[in-house]
Amino acid sequence: MEAIVRLHGLGLDYHSAQGETRAVEEVSFAVYPGELVSLVGPSGCGKSTILSAIAGLLPPSRGRVELAEGIRVGYMLQKDHLLEWRTIFRNACLGLEIAKKLNATTKQEVWALLEKYGLADFAFRKPSELSGGMRQRAALIRTLALKPDVLLLDEPFSALDYQTRLHAADEVTGIIRSEQKTAILVTHDISEAIACSDRVLVLSKRPAVLKNTYPIQLDGAKTPFQARESADFHCYFNQIWKDLDYHE
């Protein structure tokens, strides 16, 4: 199977009046169609910077990012960035509107996504009337409406309280699986990475290098919530925790 995303020795530097900061040293990995891969690492190690390079927002300082031909990338940020004065339906249509692809057909497709994922009854409510998890679902539908092949998720649950975060991770991961999307998730939460992912990539402190890769296999787990009850879950957690040795 051909990779849908491939990084070859990616390095990224920031330049400022104070000098050069090396954010990412050299990172290489591939992501294959239908995979959900998580990036974990110490705060400030360059996880979000790598996502920005994959999205084409930052040019590599060294190495390169390769996307399979014709691949479309969608980006979901830490905050949902729903516009409070627009209804959920109009928020879900926003990306299409900006891309000048909003028409009768695409509006029907957005409505079908809202129905499929339990937001049709809230389509004409304002974001302030929704729970945190429902807002994240709406933000994901807004991204899916543009029909991306790869979803880049930059700590999409970090602004939520713990209980809401667990439910949102279940819901959003379920939608990604249902839509058969490829996704790269950046998170600082080891449990979240293990529960949601097919593979976890562990990065070092800045400047980032790839320290380890863990293929995740949890018997009987069909959802992230169930994954946390798997007998192997804590084994993965302890191994990744050791890799993230903040005293090294």
CA distance 75 to 88: 19
Residue in the block written with tokens 């899916």: 144
Q: Which residues 6+ apart lie within 8 Å of 134 measured at CB?
A: 119, 122
Of the candidates 141, 119, 116, the residue with the CA atom closest to the CA atom of residue 129: 119
CA distance 23 to 44: 8
What is the token pair recorded at 113? 């996504």
pLDDT of residue 160: 76
Q: Which residues 6+ apart lie within 8 Å of 210 measured at CB?
A: 27, 28, 29, 201, 202, 203, 204
pLDDT averaged over 10-residue windows placed end to end, the chain, 248 residues: 93 79 90 95 87 92 93 86 93 93 94 92 94 88 92 84 82 88 93 93 90 88 76 91 73
- Look up the pTM and report it: 0.89
Any idea what DSSP says for residue 215? E
CA distance 96 to 106: 8
pLDDT of residue 96: 93
Is residue 91 classed exposed, middle or buried when 0-12, 13-18 and 19+ CB atoms within 10 A define those classes?
Answer: buried
Fill in the amino acid letter for 143. T
pLDDT of residue 158: 79
Fill in the amino acid letter for 38. S
pLDDT of residue 247: 47
pLDDT of residue 155: 87
pLDDT of residue 132: 83
Give the SS3 label for residue 110.
helix
- End-to-end CA separation in angstroms for the chain: 37
Kind plus residue range of the DSSP H or E element containing 20: strand 19-31
pLDDT of residue 220: 66
CA distance 205 to 114: 40
41 contacts 208 by C-beta, under 8 angstroms: yes
171 contacts 157 by C-beta, under 8 angstroms: no
